[in-house]
Amino acid sequence: MSRQLFFFDQPRRFVVGTVGQPGERVFFLQASDGARVVSVALEKAQVTVLTERMEQLLAEVATQSGLPLPDEVTPDTEPLDNPVDEEFRVAAMGLAYDADTGLIVIEAQAEADSTETAEATLLEDTDEGPDALRVQLAHQAALEFIERARRVVAAGRPPCPLCHQPLDAAGHVCPRHNGYRRQARIDV
């Protein structure tokens, strides 16, 4: 299958955002540069993992290079750019550091025909394989992405103190209560 690669080299904007209410939110990675806007859908857990791995990678790069990371980061707080049209749903992600350019490389890939295809095409320049969004970011932009992603993930439903599953306003069936409904207590 012919591959469509959406490539952004230090875009004007690369953010995580959501559409919908907590409990029904759809998460998006969105890259935009000028009039070009590309949005791909992914799971909240994928956002969390990407954020954690990016933070680890930046810390490792800072340690090895001896360059300190900035203390203050001002994340982008604007809503997603319109239109938010899903190009594909993310099935696999790759993260790398390009030592030649000093940039962080993030790739979000659509579902592949097989695991072998996904592994062979992730972060590679090939003509065949699943569609992908590849973004290169400077350290400051990566830190801003991380801070915003943390805020977006934290803006969801609060976790149940017993089972850590998300609480709805009406509560949920908590396994720690042997299947009885646990009411949400949301303080205002």
Q: Report pLDDT for 178.
A: 67
Angle between helices 44-65 and 139-154 (to 10 degrees): 150
Please give the model's pTM, rounded to 2 decimal places. 0.83
Q: How far is it, in rounded angstroms, from Cα 97 to Cα 54?
A: 10
Read off the pLDDT of residues 7-37 as tens digits, 9 standing for 90 and up.
999 999 999 999 998 878 999 999 999 889 9
Looking at the chain, the domain(s) classified CATH 3.30.2450 span 5-156
Give the fold, CATH level 3, of 5-156.
Secreted effector protein pipB2 fold (3.30.2450)
187: pLDDT strictly greater than 50 = no
Q: How far is it, in rounded angstroms, from Cα 27 to Cα 16?
A: 7
Mean pLDDT lowest among 21-30, 56-65, 171-180:
171-180
Read off the pLDDT of residues 68-92 as tens digits, 9 standing for 90 and up.
777 788 889 999 999 899 999 999 9
